[in-house]
Structure 1
Amino acid sequence: MLQTMFLYILAAAIILCILHIIFLCTGDARLVRQIPGPKDVFIIGNTLELLITPVELFKLGRRYANKWKDIYRFIAFNIRAVNIFNPEDIEVVMSTMKHSEKSYFYSFLRPWLGDGLLLSGGEKWKGRRKILTPAFHFNILQQFHEILDQNSRRLVEEISFKVGKPIDLVPLLSDFTLNSICETAMGTRLESSKSARIYKENIYEIGKCLVERFSKMYLYSPWIFNLTSIARKQKACVSAIHEFTGKVIRERKYFADQQRREIISSLSDDLNKKNKKIAMLDLLLTAERDGLIDNTGVQEEVDTFMFEGHDTTAAGLTFCLMLLANNPQVQDKIVAEMKQEIGDSNQRLTIEDLSKLKYLERCIKESLRLYPPVPFISRILDSPEKLSNYTVPAGTYCHIHIYDLHRREDLFEIPNAFNPDRFLPENSVGRHPYSYIPFSAGPRNCIGQKFAMLEMKTVIATILKSYLLKPVTTPADIQIHSDLVLRNSGPVEVIFLRRLLT
C-alpha cells in the first residue's frame, strides 16, 4: 500500500517537473526568462502576483515599471508576456500591421463586442475600418459639433442647480458623453435616463468581471469560467447592454434606404449647405444593405463605438477637469485665451473658434498624458523581435503600458507635474513620435480621436465660460483601479462656482 502510494507521488512529482521544464525552462520560455522580471514559482510562474485587489493590481504595474527599465517579463504556466514602456520598443510593435493581432486577453471581451473594430484583425478589420472611416470626415465633424455644442450648453444648465456643492464628475460626464455619442455617431437621441443608467451600470459591472478573470488565471479557460458565478453575471450584463444598443439600431432604421444612400453619396459635398445629416450608424446600415456587413456585424460595431465613444472620453474629461480645478492659474490662462480669441462669452462656439484655443488644446493633451483613458493595450508578436536588446520569441504577448510611457523622466521632465507647455511646438522638437500615444498609434490608432478632441474642447470651453472650478479631489487622492478604462476607485469631485467674464 505504502509502496503504491510512493509510486503515485513519484509519478506526480515527475509529471510536475516535466510541466515545469516545458512551461518555464525550454525553448521560447527560456528566452523570455532571460528578460528581468518578478521571481517565478515552480510551474505556476508569476500567477500568484495577480491575486490582489484591482487597486493593488494597478499599483503592481507601476512598481514593476519603476524597478525594471524599459521592459520586464511575466510568465505563468504556458503564458509568456513582455511588458514594454519605452518608445523605441513600442514603435517596433505598433508602427506596422505586422504585430496587429490583439492578445488572448481581448477574447474575454468577445461575448460583448464580438468582432468589432477593437477586436477584429486581418481582412475583416480592414473592411470594417474602410466602412467607418467616412464617418469622421471633416464635414461630418462640423455637423457633430452642432450637437456637441448643444449638449455642452445643456450640461452647463444642469450644473447650475448644483453650484457651490461638490459634484462627482464621473456620472455627470458619462451622461454627457453617452448622450453625445448616441446623437452624433448613432443619430438617436436618448429619451430615457433610466435606460442610459442601466447601460452604464452594466458597463461598469462587466469591467469588474473582466478584471477578476484577468487576475485569476484558472478562469482563462472558457469551460472553467463558464461554470462560475462571474460568467453568469457577465452574461446578464452583456444581455442588458445588447438590449440597449439593439434599441438604438432599431430606432435609426426608420431612415429610408434611398434617403440614406443620398446622404452617403454626398460626403464630398458641403453637407452644411445641403443641410444633410449622416451618422456612423447610417454607414453601417447601408453597408448591410449592400452585403458588406451582416446584422451581427452592425451590432458589433455599435457596441464597440458606444462603449469606446462615451466611456474613454468621459474618463479623459473627468481627469482633465480635476486637474484644471487644482491649477487655477491654468484656468485663468484658458479663460484669458478665450476672451482674446473669441470675445463675447455668450456666442456659440464654432469649430473655427476652437481651433484658435491652442492653450486649451495643450491642457487637454497634458491631461491625457498624465491620465490616458486607455492605459494599457496588448498585442501578439507575429514573429521574433529584438526589444530592449532582448530576443522576444514569436507568440509572446506584448503589453504596452501607455501610463508608464507617459510618465518617464527621460521623456518628460518632472513627469508627474501638470505642465501644458510641454506641448508647445518648440518643446516638442526631437520628442520620439511614440513617446505620447493617448489614442494608440500606428495603423490601428483610434479612428475617433479627432471627434474625441473636438468633444473635449467643446465641453471644457463651454464650462469654463460659465464656471470657476474649485478642487475637492486632488491628484494625491487618486487611487486608480484596474479596469477597461482609467477609473478612480472613488468619486472625483469638483465644486463649480459662477464665473463672470469681464
Structure 2
Amino acid sequence: MFYILLIIVLSLVLLHLYINYHEDARVFMKVPGMKDRFLIGNALEMICVHPDKIFEWRTSLSKRFNGIYRFYTYPFRYINIYNPEDIEIVLSSTKFIKKSRLYDIIKPWLADGLLLSSGAKWQQRRKILTSAFHFDILRQFHTVIEENSKRLTETLGTSGEIVNIAPIVTEYTLNTICETAMGTKLSDETSAAAMSYKNALHTLGNLFIQRFIKLYLLIEFIYNLSSLKIQQQRTIDVIKKFTTDIIDKRKKYLEQNVLTSNPTKQDEDDVYKGRKKFAFLDLLLTAENDGKIDKSGVQEEVDTFMFGGHDTTASGLSFLFLLLANHQDVQEKVYKEIQSIFGDSTRIATTSDLTQMKYLELCIKESLRLYPPIHFVARILNDQIKLSNYTIPADTECLIHIFDLHRREDLYKNALTFDPDRFLPENSVGRHPYAYIPFSAGPRNCIGQKYAMMEMKSATSAVIRRYKLEAITKPEEIRFSGDLVLRSIDPINIKIIKRDAKNM
C-alpha cells in the first residue's frame, strides 16, 4: 500500500513538473500573477467564483496588479493586459489579428463571420462590407434612424413613470439595425420572434459565463457531453430562425423588385421608400449572386452584425442615460445645446443637426470610456512577444481589458468621475492613442463605429429634447455581468419627466 501511494505521489509530482515547469511555462510564470497551486495552477480561483461575481473578481485583479498579469492552468495560458503601450503592440500589428480561442464558445452561433474569421477570409469579408458603413451610406440611413428615435420617445411611458431603460433601448436598436442594415421593418407579426431573439441572446451570454468559469468546459469533447451544449444549441436555433427569416424576406423582395445585381429599384414596400442606397444585407446578397460569398457566409455575417449592431449600442445607450440622469448639470447642458439647434421646432434632426451636437458627442465619448460595451477583446499571440518587459511565449491567449484600461487613474485623473470635458481637444493632448479604445483599434477595429455614434446621438437628442431624466439607479449600485457585452445584472431604473410642450 505504501509503494502504491508513493508511486501516485511521485507521478503527481512529475506531472506537476512537466506541465508547470517546461520551457514556455517557466518563461510565462515570470509574469506577476495569482498564487499558483500544486498541479492546477490558478484554476481554483476562477472555478470558485459565482457567475454574478466574475466581473467584480476580474476588476479586482486589475487593481491588484500593474497593467499586466497572467492566468495559468494547463493547458490554458492567458496574459491579461490593460496598459496602452502593451495594447498598441498587440492591436496595431497585422501579425496578431487572429481572435482568441475563447471566442470558440460562440463559434456555433457566429461561425466564420467578420468577428471570428481571420486571414484571407477576414480580409475578403472586410473589403466587401466596409462600403456598407461609408458615411454617404450612413447619411442615407439617417431618416430611418430618426424615425425610430421618434418612436423611442413615444414608448418611454407617461411623465413621472419609472422605467427600466435597458429593454426599451434594446428594442429601439434592434428595430433600427433591421430597418437600416437589413432593409426589413419589424412588424406586429415579427414582434414575438424579436422578443425571443433578444431573450436568446441573453441566454447565450449566461452560457458563455458558465463555460468560461468552468474551465474544463472549454475542452470541446467534455462540453459536448454536458447539458449546456443542448441548451446552447436550442438557443442558437431560436436566434438563427429570426435572422434566417430576415434574410429570406429581403431576398424575396429583391428577387421580385430588382432586375439587376444592383439593388436600386424601390417601391412603397421598401423601407427605404425611394432613397437610393445599398443596405448591408443587399451588399451580401449581391455578393452571393456574384459568387463572392455563399449562403452560409451571408448567414454568419447577418448573425454577426445583428448582434454587434444592436446589442452593443443598446448597452452604450443604457449607461449613457444612467449617467445623464445622475448628472443633472451635464444633462442640462445637453438640453441647452439641443435647444440652440431646434428652438421650439418639432422637426426631426438632420445629419447637419447631429454634427452640431458637440457637447453631446463629448458625453457619449465619456460614457463609452466608463462603460465600454465591448469591455474586453482577446487575441492569440502566435509569435513570441515582449509585453511590459516580460517575454510572452508564442501561442499565448491575450486578453485586453478595455474596461480597466479606461479607468486607470494614471491615464484619467479622477477616472471614476463622469467628466465629458476631458474629451475636449485641449484636454486630449498627450493622451496615448491606445488609452481610449471603445471600438477596439488597429486593423480589426469596429467597422460600425460611425453607425453606432450616429444612432446614439439620434436617440439621445430625441429623448433629452422631450424628457428630463431623473436618477433612480445610481452608478455605484450597478453590478456588471461577465457577458461578452457590458450589461447590468439588475434593472437600470430612470424616472422620465416630460418637458413643457413649447420646448419640445
Q: TM-score, with normalisation over the residues of structure 2? A: 0.95
Shift of 1:32: 1.1
Rate the CA distance shift 1:259–1:469 in 2: closer, same or farther, 3 A.
farther
Shift of 1:274: 7.6
Match of 2:268 in 1: none
Letter in 1 for 2:127: K
The question of 1:75 aligning with 2:72 is answered yes
Please list, as runs of the form range in 1=range in 2, the aligned pairs for 1:171-210 lying within 5 A after superposition. Answer: 171-191=167-187, 192-210=190-208
What is the distance in 1 between the residues matched to 2:27 and 2:90? 18
SS in 2 for 1:485: coil
2:226 paired residue among 225, 228, 252: 228
What is the distance in 2 between the residues matched to 1:424 and 1:365? 10
Rate the CA distance shift 1:260–1:41 in 2: closer, same or farther, 3 A.
farther
1:15 paired residue among 11, 22, 41: 11
Match of 1:359 in 2: 359
Match of 2:135 in 1: 138
Shift of 1:31: 1.0
1:26-78: CA deviations, max 9, x gaps?
A: 21111111011100111111111112122321111111111110100000112
Please list, as runs of the form range in 1=range in 2, the aligned pairs for 1:99-498 lying within 5 A after superposition. Answer: 99-159=96-156, 161-191=157-187, 192-256=190-254, 258-259=258-259, 261-263=261-263, 275-498=275-498
SS in 2 for 1:72: strand
Match of 2:33 in 1: 37
Q: Contact conserved, 2:16 with 2:38, CA < 8 A, in 1?
A: yes
Shift of 1:196: 0.6
What is the distance in 2 between the residues matched to 1:238 and 1:200? 12
Shift of 1:260: 5.9
RMSD after superposition:
1.6
SS in 1 for 2:155: helix
Please list, as runs of the form range in 1=range in 2, the aligned pairs for 1:36-55 lying within 5 A after superposition. Answer: 36-51=32-47, 52-55=49-52
Match of 1:269 in 2: none
Q: Contact conserved, 2:163 with 2:495, CA < 8 A, in 1?
A: yes
What is the distance in 2 between the residues matched to 1:383 and 1:82? 14
Please list, as runs of the form range in 1=range in 2, the aligned pairs for 1:58-73 lying within 5 A after superposition. Answer: 58-73=55-70
Rate the CA distance shift 1:65–1:230 in 2: closer, same or farther, 3 A.
same
Q: Contact conserved, 2:316 with 2:367, CA < 8 A, in 1?
A: yes
What is the distance in 1 between the residues matched to 2:485 and 2:308? 9
SS in 2 for 1:487: coil
Match of 2:269 in 1: none
SS in 2 for 1:497: strand
SS in 1 for 2:252: coil
- Identical columns (%): 50
Shift of 1:10: 3.4
Shift of 1:204: 0.4
Q: Contact conserved, 1:260 with 1:282, CA < 8 A, in 2?
A: no
Rate the CA distance shift 1:264–1:123 in 2: closer, same or farther, 3 A.
farther
Letter in 2 for 1:353: D
Deviates more, 1:272-281 or 1:63-72: 272-281
SS in 2 for 1:346: coil
1:141-177: CA deviations, max 9, x gaps?
A: 0121111100011111112x33211100111011000
The question of 1:96 aligning with 2:96 is answered no
What is the distance in 1 between the residues matched to 2:132 and 2:146? 19
Q: Contact conserved, 1:264 with 1:283, CA < 8 A, in 2?
A: no
Q: Contact conserved, 1:385 with 1:391, CA < 8 A, in 2?
A: yes
Shift of 1:189: 0.8
1:26 paired residue among 22, 25, 34: 22
SS in 2 for 1:495: strand
1:276-320: CA deviations, max 9, x gaps?
A: 132100111111111111111110000000011110000000000
Matched length: 491
Give structure 2 stretches of 5+ with no counterpart. Answer: 266-271
Match of 1:268 in 2: none
What is the distance in 2 between the residues matched to 1:19 and 1:481? 36
SS in 2 for 1:41: coil
What is the distance in 2 between the residues matched to 1:264 and 1:212? 46
What is the distance in 1 between the residues matched to 2:303 and 2:130? 17
Shift of 1:8: 4.0
Shift of 1:464: 0.6
Shift of 1:343: 3.0
Q: Contact conserved, 1:187 with 1:278, CA < 8 A, in 2?
A: no
Rate the CA distance shift 1:204–1:274 in 2: closer, same or farther, 3 A.
closer
What is the distance in 1 between the residues matched to 2:315 and 2:73? 31
Query: Which ranges of 4 or more aligned residues in structure 1 deviate by more than 6 Å?
Result: none
Q: Contact conserved, 2:149 with 2:459, CA < 8 A, in 1?
A: yes
SS in 2 for 1:261: coil
What is the distance in 1 between the residues matched to 2:139 and 2:120? 31
Letter in 2 for 1:49: E
